[in-house]
Amino acid sequence: MKSVEEVAKELAGLQHYRYSVERYLAGLQRLTVVARPMKDSHNEGSRFITFRTVKYIQMPTYWEGAPFKLGTFSECRELLERVGIPVVGSLPCLFYAELSRSCVYVVCWDVEVSNVMPP
């Protein structure tokens, strides 16, 4: 399994993709976002981004061209405190994407990128 930093590099490279929420399993705290290449890009195939043990989500169901980036631990702490989620012990990871009018936020403990839809 790749480290969070390795996955973050892979996510940052997903430029010129359309993103949409594919599946959210609340009981399992698992979110899958599919990244599909834009028509004009030379990217091949969809990528499935699975966030596990999700603590917080704020996102539209669809957006284009803004890949996920890895936030810092202080940014993660500030976001969780701002939305009223208590911060106790170690911090999860913050992934975000900057859109023209808002931001996408996912706070989770693990993330994986795959070429196939996870079960």
What's the Cα-to-Cα distance from 86 to each of 21, 44, 59, rounded to whole Å? Answer: 26, 41, 21
pLDDT at residue 78 greater than cutoff 70? yes
Q: What is the pLDDT of residue 44?
A: 75
3-state secondary structure of 9: helix
Q: What is the pLDDT of residue 85?
A: 94
Separation of alpha carbons 118 and 1, rounded Å? 15
pLDDT at residue 69 greater than cutoff 80? yes
Separation of alpha carbons 34 and 23, rounded Å? 9
pLDDT tens digits, one per residue of 18-61 = 999 999 998 889 999 999 998 766 667 899 999 999 999 999 99
Task: Tell me the residue ranges of DSSP E strands in 12-102.
Answer: 17-25, 30-37, 47-58, 62-64, 69-70, 93-98
The percentage of residues in the chain with a pLDDT greater than 70, rounded to a whole number, is: 97
pLDDT at residue 81 greater than cutoff 70? yes
